[in-house]
Amino acid sequence: MKKIAILGSTGNVGTQVLEVVDQYPDKLDVFALSASSNIELLEEQIRKYKPSFVGVFDEGKAAELEKRVDIPVFSGKDASLKIAALEEYDTLVNSLVSLSGIDATLEAIKNKKNIALANKESLVTAGEIIMKEVKKNNINLMPIDSEHSALFQCLNGEDRKNIHQLIITCSGGALRDVSKKDMKNVTVKDALGHKTWSMGSKITIDSATLMNKGFEVIEAMWLYDVPVEKIKVVIHPESIIHSMVEYSDGSIIAQLSDPDMKLPIQYALSYPERWDAPISRFDFSKNLTFKEPDLERFPCLGYALEAAQKMGTLPAVMNATNDFMVGKFLNKECEFLDIQNVIRKVMDEHEIMENPKLDDITKVIKESTKRAEEILSHMKKGK
């Protein structure tokens, strides 16, 4: 029986983790749960899974929940950190969609807990720090992500020196067929209309800009110790091949399945075992197509590749600015193209700090968010 603590249990990934738990109640035990503010769903989860601890980011909501349940409720910005620091669990599932997930990932690693990671910010902004701690504490960090799960499986048992390139596939997002001219008219509804994956709103917008794919390139660099020059992004609209590895002899190994997050979630929790399929079996009548990404229409991917080459604090700056701007777009406080324009300006202004410590990263995140807000405000006044 594996005891798991789930950060972000009421979100898209968190609820699917619990669906996997439902399939394997004899293998997975829910020790702790956390949510941002959705205490109604969290209370239902508490009644069903009977965790020992819960956390709620929103302090007011946490106080409400505390009156309705008979287990400890951690509250505020440190709630996830307190859960990560607990001793009595085996694996931390970090599905937080925010920069707050970084501290929780590090705390769990230092506590010698295995990590099932869906929080992109952890590796994008602090990959060097996190992977150093992973090796130091000799724990497993398994990605909850279809692309990185696929890469892990394609690399398993192979000699890394024979890698020619990692090939990360990309559906193209909701806007893959939208012209550059029409991008300026994209609405929130348009950008949320993903064609193959059902995800949370923030990551769906990141898929529409292709920023999400840039994040995945940076994550792959750290997870598999491969330079950015050896990582390629390919548009694959059907989302059947989740990633591939091309080896020095020209062989390409791919991982295929229907697009369903429950498979990489289950594999991250079951590894090194393979449990029965949580998804439907593949239909081989489907066609597979590929094409190169268009960086003119989707410059955010290019920005991420640039950040991956320059490193230092630049990935953190890019990530923080994107985080801020996507939030503004989802709240209808800016236009779609403002996302890429503000990211570009903040990146251009930033003086890169090499080999940053966590405090340095935290500082540039705050500074970048503030600068993005100033630039957006100025842009609005000029329109």
- Per residue in 39-57, pLDDT (tens digit) is 999 999 999 999 999 999 9
pLDDT, mean over the chain: 95
Residues pairing with 32 in the sheet: 5, 53
What are the sequence ranges of the domains in the chain?
2-144, 146-261+279-310, 314-383
* Distance from C-alpha of 252 to C-alpha of 131, rounded to nearest angstrom: 27
Q: Name 164's Cβ contacts closer than 8 Å, sequence gap at least 6.
A: 230, 246, 247, 248, 250
Q: What are 352-374's pLDDT values in tens digits?
A: 999 999 999 999 999 999 999 99
Between 152 and 120, where is the model more confident?
152
Whether 98 and 116 have beta carbons less than 8 Å apart is answered as no
List the Cα angle 376/381/383 in 5-degree steps: 95
pLDDT for 383: 65
In the numeric block, the tokens 């064609």 are attached to 195
At 381, the pLDDT band (50, 70, 90 cuts) reads confident
321-328's contacts with Cβ under 8 Å and 24+ in sequence apart are 321/346, 321/347, 321/368, 321/369, 321/371, 321/372, 322/206, 322/211, 323/98, 323/99, 323/121, 323/202, 323/369, 324/368, 324/369, 324/372, 324/373, 325/372, 325/376, 326/202, 326/205, 326/206, 327/202, 328/376
* Distance from C-alpha of 342 to C-alpha of 154, rounded to nearest angstrom: 37
Q: How far apart are the first and last CA of the chain?
A: 59
Class of 2-144 per CATH?
A: alpha beta
At 134, the pLDDT band (50, 70, 90 cuts) reads very high
Domains 2-144 and 314-383 share a fold: no
Q: At what angle do helices 336-349 and 314-330 cross, to 10 degrees?
A: 160
List the one residue out of 161, 131, 118, 313 whose CA is nearest residue 222.
131
Class of 314-383 per CATH?
A: mainly alpha
Q: What are 61-88's pLDDT values in tens digits?
A: 999 999 999 999 999 999 999 999 999 9
Q: What are 301-344's pLDDT values in tens digits?
A: 999 999 999 999 999 999 999 999 999 999 999 999 999 999 99
* Distance from C-alpha of 379 to C-alpha of 102, rounded to nearest angstrom: 31
Q: Name 330's Cβ contacts closer than 8 Å, sequence gap at least 6.
A: 188, 201, 202, 205
pLDDT for 382: 74
Q: How many CB atoms lie within 10 A of CB 137?
A: 14
Q: What are 264-304's pLDDT values in tens digits?
A: 999 999 999 999 988 889 888 888 999 999 999 999 999 99
What size, in residues, is the chain?
383
pTM score, whole prediction: 0.92
Which of these ranges, 55-64, 95-104, 232-241, has the smallest mean pLDDT?
A: 95-104
